[in-house]
Amino acid sequence: MAHNLNIGKLLSILAFSKEIQEYFYSKYGYYYVAVCTTSLYGKSIQYDRIKELKLIGYTKGYGISQIPDYLYDEMIIFMKKYYTNKVINNSKFRKISFISRLFGYHDNLLLHGNIRGIYFGYINDESKKLLNNQSNNFNIHNLRSINEIINWWKNRWAMNRWNNLYNNKKIKVTYELKNMNKKELFNEYIKQYNYNNYHNNIEFNLKIKNNNKKYYLENRELKNKVDISKNKRILSFYEIIEIMNWKEKKINGDKFTDNKIISHKKVSELLSDKFNKKISEQMIKYYWNGTVKLYEEEFNENNLDKYNWYNDLIIN
């Protein structure tokens, strides 16, 4: 019905009706002077050519639909163990944002890239002056009623859409499900099409959970950073590689230039002076024994061959 009669445009315009304003006032005790909304993807067909709403820009594409449940559960476990209830009680978006910034992603973990169009519309001519503190006057007497809007919508949108679809034999008479690609599985459509499955179908839920787990295992970077944070890793990639170089020398039987045996304590003193920062003996042990590990993604194309060397040293 929505497709055949352009009902999306009707719903959008009704936000500017007199009755909706009156209902809002009865609930909250004041009127709203403007409407701001976003489209699902980029520029919206639904809001296009509606004089009440204007496209004013685009979002950068931040959200949480791309975060697998399995990975989100891991974040919650981590936060419950190391952070206060104040963090835990935040919204899902804020919790993921907190984790993202904590591990050095800033908000990149939230960036799925699906930009939304941002639409804004004043309720009437008085709205702009009121919002800019240039006037205290605002009334809804000049707004159209719901019946006026419906009659206008029938002639302007509904009948035109119906006739066009009818003439081109494109009227939809059955409910259609689209085939989802991997990216779409996490967007808003899947919540609509599979609502009953998500809530009532145990087998379906298990399948989704296993898929999320597989996705999680294939994208381990965040988990590795969680592991790193748990062990309070504070040294850079190259500083850790320097520690492993000393471990290799010890394995090969090398000694310091003064013929002293290579030890955690001596390496700690040497590297603290070299890098002008406190590198304790305990920290050396953490990296030396692989308690705190580098992860594969840190080895870029220029030094990827070092990853196997590093793994061999941890095992020894």
Domain count, the chain: 3
Question: Max Cα separation, the chain?
Answer: 95
- Expressed as residue numbers, the domain containing 256 is 231-315
* Position 225 in a domain: no
pLDDT, position 21 = 94
List CB contacts of 192: < 8 A, sequence separation 6 or more: none
Listed as ranges, residues in the chain with pLDDT below 50 are 188-190, 192-200, 229-232
- C-alpha dihedral (309, 310, 312, 313), degrees to nearest 10: 120
* Position 223 in a domain: no
C-alpha 281/C-alpha 107 separation (Å) is 34
* Position 288 in a domain: yes
304: its two tokens: 């990827």
Same domain, 17 and 30: yes
Q: Is 279 left (phi over 0), alpha (psi -120 to 50) or beta?
A: beta
**Residue listed under structure tokens 């974040």:** 75
Digit-coded pLDDT (tens) for 83-93: 766 667 788 88
* Position 308 in a domain: yes
* Position 120 in a domain: yes
pLDDT, position 188 = 47
Cα distances from 8 to residues 45, 58, 79, 116, 187, in angstroms, run 9, 20, 41, 17, 19
pLDDT, position 63 = 82
pLDDT, position 138 = 84
Same domain, 243 and 288: yes
pLDDT, position 220 = 56
Same domain, 122 and 43: yes
* Position 177 in a domain: no
DSSP summary character for residue 89: T
Same domain, 109 and 190: yes
pLDDT, position 7 = 92
Same domain, 77 and 203: yes
Same domain, 267 and 155: no
